[in-house]
Chain A
Amino acid sequence: MKTFRWSRELTLIVLLVCLMGAASVLEPKFVTVRAQTLLATHLWELALVAIPMLLIVITAGIDLSVGSMVALSAVSFGLMFERNVPPVVAVALTVVIGTLLGGLNGWFVTKMKVHPLLVTLATLAAYRGMAEGISTARAISGYPDWLLSALQGPTPVVIFVLAALGTHLVMTRTYFGRWVLAIGTEENVSRFSRIPVDRVKLWLYGFSGLICGIAAILLVARNNTAKADMASGLELDAITAVVLGGASIHGGKGRVTGLVLGLILIHETREFVSWHWKQNELNLVVIGSLLILTVLLENIAEIRKNRKPQPVNPAPAKS
């Protein structure tokens, strides 16, 4: 039998089982299908956006502009709709706009060689500002019911499952996945090994934009409103989920399975805390503590493992 290896996924599962166990004792209603379905409706934009964030973090990059890309795409969608662009066309164009916004980030990162933190910090502000500018900060509502219902309920779940499964397969089964990991581990070595580093990165930032475009449409449908201040702070939630899921912010490490578990854990913790203690502001504290707890648990497991008797290396002889 293979030797047992502790992984981030196991830590997250242990925490989740504890949480749900405690929840079923303290708040039986919380662990019902009805409650969980209702609560889950707010998760999908974050869940979607976290997928490309994971890939970008694995390449040792970061995309801080996701919230602003969502807002700008959402507002673009609203404005197109207002100008009587057929909804289906507007949906397609919004996804294109999102992709272009992400592509622009990628272009700055790869061609202009600006650090992704700076690029996306700049576009975080710029895209949000553009969203406020073109919408004059007003809310655009009044979408037809058929569109709203088509984009709610199971639709976001299906999109997320497909995106997560696809990304998982790409990361575990294809060259592209190995390239992503290699770039994050050692970028220079990757370049020497003829990995198309810049092209991979451009794709990833573009992918992030594309997902933001999709998330924007889902968000607009759920709220029946497009507004420039939507999805603010989304980048922090996404990065938290990615890191909680076991990805290293230094790059080279991270799995979709961990991310999915991280997302579920964050979501359930947040909802449970606000359900049980009825103090919305507690959430931030708890999410922070959760991040620390996860890392701690793992470090303890790591230390335990290292304490097992190991072949003793002879001390280097003194000269």
Chain B
Amino acid sequence: MKNLFALCALAIVLVGCSGGDAAKSESPTDKPGGSAASESKQITVAMLPKKKGVPYFTSCSEGAMEAAKELGNVELIYDGPTSGDAADAVKLIDQWTAQGVDVIAVSPNDPAVLGPAMKRACDAGIKVLTWDADADAANREFLVNQATPEEIGNSLVDAMAKDLGGDSATGEVAIVTASLTAANQNEWIKFMKVRLEKYPGLKLIATKPSNEDQKLAFSVTQDLMKVYPNLKGVFAISSVAFPGAAEAVKQAGKAGKVLVTGLSTPNDMKTYVKEDVVKSVILWNTKDLGYLTVFAARELVDGKLKAGSTTVAAGRLGEKKVVGDNVMLGGTITFNKENIDQFDF
């Protein structure tokens, strides 16, 4: 019984201290209206990666920090689940909502799970952006889009063709994708197929899923090489499938004979590039993606980025296009033996 009393006493203490502060903290949460005076106002931008501590997102965060420093009036919070667990991401969004930050920029690892929390943030008057990957458009104002599926599809096919001998490249090629239902990858494949028509010598013979499993990507690539002895190239178009496919080619001793290309960060693929298993690694500029996200957040609070905007000013990147509710970063970079050492992420 004594313990029950103790519990009640505690409850009173907790309620007591929270009640006292509630009144005080309601007032400073009001948001700027977008007037010129608000431009110098310090804002807080919370940036959520799919998973914290992976090189890809760390390099995005470096760009974001650079932008925050350059602007001088943006406090940047970069935090995310180290486990990649969507439920942890929800907790963080709710926490930022409770703190009353100005902008939450989300790279959703599971849009369905994060949706309700993003909506709660919107309802609390916080500006919500997505970057790197999209969520339900109703729960965010803009997507900071790294590259269009068309650009990615074209870059992949062009890089493969170039590495196999330019416009007259010939040979059988195959795609190892994430899963057959992965939305991003399917979009890319659609545009890859269109682009492949430009190179009549290249024949797409198979598209195999690897279900975001490096071991499966490894064995799928082994099978492809067995079934199609004339295979010249493999597009491994998920960051997990890429090293798996490259490892399969390397272990089969076919480095240089079967080329692997795909999307990844340079550090993950550096060894394969040096061993000639991989000639080109395609990616958008991750630092610029983080950089642009912070600028977009600032412009959004200042009211300069709003529905109907066609451009957004993004510091050293100059003017960036806005298409509909997408802020476009645009452009891909290709890492190869010559330049890959200059990148460290």
Contacts and interface: CB of A to CB of B under 8 A. Distances in A.
Interface string B10-37: 1001100111011011100000000000
A141 interface: yes
A201 interface: no
B82 A224 contact: no
Contacts of A10: 6
Interface string A133-148: 0000011010000000
A223 B21 contact: no
Contacts of B79: 274, 278-280
Interface string A24-51: 1000111111111011011000000000
A286 B86 CA distance: 21
A257 B91 contact: no
A79 to B, nearest CB: 16
A224 B115 contact: yes
A280 B21 contact: no
Interface in B109-130: 110, 112-113, 115-116, 120
A275 interface: yes
Nearest to B88: A280
Give the dominant DSSP class at A's interface: helix
A255 interface: yes
Contacts of A299: none
A230 B87 CA distance: 8
Interface string A255-288: 1011011001000000100110011110000000
Majority secondary structure of chain B interface residues (helix, strand, loop or mixed): helix
A280 B115 contact: no
Given A31-B21, A32-B18, A255-B3, A223 B95 contact: no
Interface stretch (B62-70, B96-104, B307-315): B96-104
A10 B10 CA distance: 10
Contact of B3 (A17, A38, A257, A279): A257
Interface in A109-149: 138-139, 141
A318 B100 CA distance: 74
B98 A34 contact: yes
Interface residues of B, number: 45
A178 interface: no
Nearest to A271: B95
A20 B18 CA distance: 9
Interface string B75-94: 00101111101111011101
Interface string A1-20: 00000010110010011001
B223 to A, nearest CB: 22
A33 B22 contact: yes
6 contacts: A7-B3, A29-B21, A29-B99, A32-B18, A42-B87, A223-B86
Interface of A: 7, 9-10, 13, 16-17, 20-21, 24, 28-36, 38-39, 41-42, 138-139, 141, 168, 222-225, 227, 229-233, 255, 257-258, 260-261, 264, 271, 274-275, 278-281
Given A138-B181, A280-B92, 6 more contacts: A7-B3, A29-B25, A33-B19, A233-B83, A257-B7, A280-B80
